Amino acid sequence: MPALVLLGAQWGDEGKGKATDLLGGSVDYVVRYQGGNNAGHTVVVGDQKYALHLLPSGILSPGCTPVIGNGVVVDPSVLFSELNGLNDRGVDTSKLLISGNAHIITPYNVTVDKVTERFLGKRKIGTTGRGIGPTYADKINRVGIRIQDLYDESILTQKVEAALDGKNQLLTKVFNRRAIEVGQVVEELLSYADRLKPYVADTVLVLNQALEQDKVVLFEGGQGTLLDIDHGTYPFVTSSNPTAGGACTGAGVGPTKISRVIGILKAYTTRVGSGPFPTELFDEDGDALRRIGGERGVTTGRDRRCGWFDAVIARYATRVNGLTDFFLTKLDVLTGWEQIPVCVAYEIDGERVEELPYSQTDFHHAKPVYEYLPGWSEDITKAKSFSDLPKNAQDYVKALEEMSGAPISAIGVGPGRDETIEINSFL
Ligand code: GDP
Ligand code: IMO
Ligand code: MG
């Protein structure tokens, strides 16, 4: 079982960092395949807490090679500050590999992200402001800058010129901003070249050779299924494919190589930024989930919107990703509720709907249909096996599994590495 994909089954922040880190000790490679430093993955090891944005969570496991795949967008200044931060804490980062085909988030991409959001006003996406969308837009428009371009100054200059041509028109004439100078951008980008050089590799070749040698490769998704550009709640999405197929294109590994796809699923739901969210709570329960679950963005510090578990979404995630397993996280946060509502279907314009509607209009009208499951009050953070959980917590997990369409193979009962109940081994 050499290649596993681990991805978010909801709107991100499900606990992917913790889950990846947990497996990191037993895998040879951990690969980020999409997104960039819009991600915020928290890993807690003993009394140490790490917030990773661009680096794969496997960077914290000494035996593991972390890889930034071709599908990722890289802001070199963020990468360096993340590496410096880890080095200062004694983490060895020398094994990192970065695809030469990964696109660079340039300073003008960050500027365009911010001014576009401001321009959208009430209709804004609520992006992380890290330049993600504009960088992917440049990639698709074929005016992107790749890591490998840093090693040919003449090509780099021509490419930055091509990218800035239209953007400067837009910045000056539409957004009333100053034009950005080609020379300044080229100079900044070139200043990153030497430090990046030792990490740059043909990661497609490396990963495929590793798989041929039966090495274990784990693909770590950023964001989540409902933030996917194709399968998410468009346009309130990120500009890449966090879903399972993204691992193939974003790392250059064929689908026949993927043996397991694990969906990380929070025992309730959260979302950051704008967009529809049927089970969102605006009451004390929402505040309590936010407080107890520590639901504050790792990247932007924004409060996360909170709501009850949505089984319609979980089923959808199973379908579009071909999930083989779920890792249910943050079950401990639900301790103390007498009854826990779970959304089993939607009501849309008076009709009961069991599956996620494909129409954006319908989804915006979806009202949750709840079933109420009995809660528990016992502390579950020390539980080591499924049978250690109180009966009602066991039943909650079994009910979610039944509704979601794939086995729940692990349960998180706290943020720490060891606060996990393993039911079926992932390896
Ligand atoms: P990611 O983006 O999917 O990696 O998730 P984040 O790190 O943004 O958010 C998940 C938060 O939940 C982090 O603060 C984790 O430390 C924490 N966490 C992960 N699993 C559990 C769990 O099972 N229980 C509790 N209480 N916290 C958890
Ligand atoms: P992790 O990996 C939660 C959201 C933003 C915004 C939308 C588009 O930690 O789960 P972008 O900057 O990507 O163009 O913003 O996507 N978003 C996330 N929400 N967790 C994330 O990452 C996210 N990355 C982006 O809030 O709504
Ligand atoms: Mg996060």
Q: Is 213 annotated as a binding residue?
A: no
Q: Is 122 part of any domain?
A: yes
User: How many Å separate Cα 36 from the centre of its chain?
Assistant: 9
State whether 139 and 169 are in the same domain.
yes
Instruction: Evaluate the omega torsion of the peptide bond into residue 56 and state whether it is cis, within 30 degrees of 0.
Output: no
pLDDT in tens, 39-98: 999 999 999 999 999 999 999 999 999 999 999 999 999 999 999 999 999 999 999 999
Q: What is the pLDDT of residue 299?
A: 86
State whether 212 and 285 are in the same domain.
yes
State whether 171 and 229 are in the same domain.
no
- What is the percent of the chain where pLDDT is above 90? 97
Q: Is 352 annotated as a binding residue?
A: no
Burial of 345 (0-12, 13-18, 19+ CB in 10 A): buried
Q: What is the pLDDT of residue 410?
A: 97
Q: Is 98 part of any domain?
A: no
Q: State which of 163, 181, 196 marks the end of a domain.
A: 196
pLDDT in tens, 232-258: 999 999 999 999 999 999 999 999 999
Q: Is 427 part of any domain?
A: no
pLDDT in tens, 256-295: 999 999 999 999 999 999 999 999 999 999 999 999 999 9
State whether 256 and 130 are in the same domain.
no
Q: What is the pLDDT of residue 298?
A: 87
Q: Which of 330, 333, 389 maximizes ligand 1 atoms within 8 Å of its Cβ, making it the mutation to test the pocket?
A: 330
- Diameter of the chain by CA atoms? 67
CB atoms within 10 A of CB 135: 26
> Residue with the nearest Cα to atom 2 of ligand 1?
13
pLDDT in tens, 89-107: 999 999 999 999 999 999 9
Q: Is 13 annotated as a binding residue?
A: yes
Query: Strands 325-329 and 309-310: what pairing?
Result: unpaired
Ligand 2 atom with least separation from CA of 38: 24
* Residues tagged active-site: 13, 41, 139
Residue 386: which domain range? 3-93+202-422
Residue 176 to residue 52: CA distance in whole angstroms: 35
User: Is the CB of 232 within 6 Å of ligand 2?
Assistant: no
Question: In this model, does residue 141 exceed pLDDT 70?
Answer: yes
Q: What is the pLDDT of residue 143?
A: 97
CA of residue 48 to ligand 2 center, whole Å = 24
Residue 21 to residue 165: CA distance in whole angstroms: 43
* Residue 200 host element (H or E): strand 200-201
CA of residue 303 to ligand 2 center, whole Å = 13
Nearest to 389 by CA among 402, 399, 401, 377: 377
Q: From edge to edge, which strands make up the β-sheet containing 408-412?
A: 200-201, 97-99, 65-68, 29-32, 217-220, 3-8, 258-266, 325-329, 408-412, 420-422
State whether 255 and 284 are in the same domain.
yes
> Residue with the nearest Cα to atom 6 of ligand 2?
127
pLDDT in tens, 344-355: 999 999 999 999
pLDDT in tens, 9-36: 999 999 999 999 999 889 999 999 999 9
On average, the pLDDT of the chain sits at 97
Q: What is the pLDDT of residue 252?
A: 98
Q: Is 390 part of any domain?
A: yes
State whether 172 and 288 are in the same domain.
no
Q: What is the pLDDT of residue 2?
A: 86
Q: Is 233 part of any domain?
A: yes
Q: What is the pLDDT of residue 106?
A: 98
Residue 336 to residue 352: CA distance in whole angstroms: 30
Q: State which of 196, 211, 232 marks the end of a domain.
A: 196
Q: What is the pLDDT of residue 262?
A: 98
CATH number at residue 116: 1.10.300.10
Q: State which of 196, 216, 236 marks the end of a domain.
A: 196
Structurally, the chain folds into a number of domains equal to 2
Name the amino acid, one letter, at 29.
Y
Question: In this model, does residue 1 exceed pLDDT 70?
Answer: no
State whether 48 and 184 are in the same domain.
no
pLDDT in tens, 359-389: 999 999 999 999 999 999 999 999 999 999 9
Q: Is 148 part of any domain?
A: yes
State whether 247 and 379 are in the same domain.
yes
State whether 262 and 323 are in the same domain.
yes
State whether 265 and 374 are in the same domain.
yes
Q: Is 292 part of any domain?
A: yes
Query: Strands 408-412 and 420-422: what pairing?
Result: antiparallel
CATH number at residue 53: 3.90.170.10
Q: Which token pair is 144?
A: 């992107």
pLDDT in tens, 206-221: 999 999 999 999 999 9
Ligand 2 atom with least separation from CA of 127: 15
User: How many Å separate Cα 196 from the centre of its chain?
Assistant: 24
pLDDT in tens, 109-131: 999 999 999 999 999 999 999 99
State whether 260 and 311 are in the same domain.
yes
- Nearest ligand, CA 14: 1
State whether 264 and 357 are in the same domain.
yes
